[in-house]
């Protein structure tokens, strides 16, 4: 893995800005179609193509810009006539989410395995709603997902395969965007707050875990660019994904894209 700049820890992807105005407005007019395909016996099969929303996940270290970029993306998509919602994990509004929040703010102590499973349960409790939204055509921009779960827990020394196991069966994202920044640069962004994992030494371990976890499908974006430059790159990636899903890309499941 080559390091392109101090900020480009997973190797930044150069994304051409190739979308034109017309493309932005074409999605609304896509509808369910029947694609005729030949199977191995040369018989023609009917396969209904159902347009759906895209599941797009933003990952990265603390302070890499995930929350800022997630809300900008949702505004952009809505402004382009594409139905979109901002989701985040942990979702601290549920009962499970409140247990997680209490742990992150050091109000409670939990065994490392137990908190890992709670983070996963927090995703499972939203799975059915996620499916409903995606099938109804809403694109979900998700601020952290299963990759955070595995990266953070394995940084504490838990076995990576054990960490992945409870995530199996959740929906696989259509795009994983990694906002790439070194732990040192991230820490310069106003310093960390008081939550449990917001410490430079731990964030260094998390950065290593993300490196071990990522695969070629991830879109790596240099998070040290200006907010606006990052935003433009993300828009292109997300529009690609939205279009693929509009064409009927089937939903798939973790643990692979
Ligand atoms: N966790 C886990 O262990 N297991 C799991 O399964 C899950 C999570 C899902 C929850 O954190 C913690 O739970 C997290 C992982 C763990 N612990 N840590 N660390 P969270 O999601 O609630 O908080 P966070 O997202 O990690 O932290 P954050 O501070 O919200 O970071 P961010 O969303 O990536 O950044 P931001 O809020 O958009 O921006 C941070 C600052 O940087 C802000 O002042 C911005 O104005 C500035 N910024 C952003 N982009 C730029 C650029 N491009 N240039 C300059 N300045 C910028
Ligand atoms: Mg955030």
The residue contributing the CA closest to ligand 1 atom 49 is: 65
Say whether the peptide bond before residue 90 is cis (omega within 30 degrees of 0). yes
Distance 75 CA to ligand 1 centre (A): 19
Q: What is the pLDDT of residues 95-150, one digit of tens each?
A: 999 999 999 999 999 999 999 999 999 999 999 999 999 999 999 999 999 999 99
Dihedral sign computed on CA atoms, order 226, 228, 232, 237: positive
CA 212 – CA 252 distance, rounded (Å)? 22
For residue 26, is pLDDT > 90? Answer: no
Dihedral sign from CA coordinates of 195, 180, 131, 21: positive
Across residues 224-251, what is the average pLDDT? 98
- Tell me if 144 CB under 6 Å of ligand 1: yes
**pLDDT at 11 (0 to 100):** 47
Asked if pLDDT for residue 241 goes beyond 60, the answer is yes
Domain boundaries, the chain: 31-246
User: Residue 182: CB within 6 Å of ligand 1?
Assistant: no
Name the range with the highest mean pLDDT among 28-37, 42-51, 199-208.
199-208
- Determine the pLDDT at residue 47: 59
pLDDT of residue 14 exceeding 50: no
Average confidence (pLDDT) over 74-99: 98
Kindly report the pTM of this predicted structure: 0.88
What pLDDT score was predicted for residue 9?
57
Q: Is 32 in the pocket of ligand 1 (CB under 6 A)?
A: no
- Decide: 178 and 218 in contact? Cβ < 8 Å: yes
Task: Reply yes or no on whether the pLDDT at 174 is more than 80.
Answer: yes
Measure 66 CA to ligand 2 centroid, in angstroms.
6
- Residue 200 CA to ligand 1 center (angstroms) comes to 13
Confidence band of 192 (pLDDT split at 50, 70, 90): confident
Where helices occur in the chain by DSSP H, the ranges are: 21-24, 66-79, 95-104, 112-124, 127-135, 146-155, 160-164, 183-188, 200-213, 227-246
Q: Which of 254, 102, 227 is nearest to 164 (CA)?
A: 254
Please name the fold of domain 31-246.
Answer: Rossmann fold (3.40.50)
194 close to ligand 1 (CB < 6 Angstrom): no
Q: In what order do the strands lie in the sheet with 139-143?
A: 84-88, 139-143, 55-60, 175-180, 219-222
Split at pLDDT 50, 70, 90, the class of 10 is: low
Work out the average pLDDT over 209-214. Answer: 96
* 28: confidence class by pLDDT, cuts 50, 70, 90: very low
- Write down the pLDDT at residue 67: 98
Taking the C-alpha atoms of residue 183 and residue 256, their distance in angstroms, rounded to an integer, is 27
With CA atoms as reference, report the closest residue to 186 among 203, 206, 202: 203
DSSP type of residue 103: H
* pLDDT bucket at 193, cuts 50 / 70 / 90: confident
**Considering only CA atoms, which residue is closest to atom 8 of ligand 1?**
148
Of 78-87, 97-106, 122-131, 185-194, minimum mean pLDDT range: 185-194
Please state the rounded mean pLDDT for residues 148-162: 98
Q: What distance in Å separates the CA atoms of residue 11 and residue 221, rounded to the nearest whole number?
A: 8
Among protein residues, the one whose CA lies closest to atom 57 of ligand 1: 65
Confidence of residue 194 (pLDDT cuts 50, 70, 90): confident
């Amino acid at each position: 893995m080559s390091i392109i700049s101090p900020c480009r820890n997973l190797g930044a992807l150069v994304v051409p800005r190739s979308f034109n105005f017309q493309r932005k407005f074409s999605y609304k007019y896509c509808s369910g179609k029947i694609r005729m395909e030949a199977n191995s016996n040369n018989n023609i099969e009917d396969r209904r193509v159902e347009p759906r929303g895209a599941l797009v996940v933003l990952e990265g270290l603390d302070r890499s810009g995930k929350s800022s970029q997630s809300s900008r993306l949702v505004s952009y998509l809505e402004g382009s006539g594409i139905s979109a919602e901002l989701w985040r994990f942990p979702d601290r509004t549920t009962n499970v989410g409140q247990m997680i929040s209490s742990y992150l703010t050091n109000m409670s102590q939990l065994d490392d395995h137990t908190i890992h499973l709670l983070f996963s349960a927090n995703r499972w409790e939203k799975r059915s709603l996620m499916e409903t939204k995606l099938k109804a055509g809403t694109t979900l921009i998700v601020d952290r997902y299963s990759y955070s779960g595995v990266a953070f827990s394995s940084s504490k020394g838990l076995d990576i395969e054990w960490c992945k196991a409870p995530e199996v069966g959740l929906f696989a994202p259509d795009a994983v965007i990694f906002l790439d920044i070194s732990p040192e640069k991230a820490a310069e962004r106003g310093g960390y707050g008081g939550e449990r994992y917001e410490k430079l030494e731990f964030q260094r371990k998390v950065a290593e875990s993300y490196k071990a976890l990522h695969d070629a499908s991830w879109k790596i974006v240099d998070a040290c660019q200006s907010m606006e430059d990052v935003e433009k790159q993300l828009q292109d990636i997300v529009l690609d994904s939205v279009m693929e899903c509009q064409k009927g890309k089937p939903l798939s499941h973790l643990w692979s894209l």
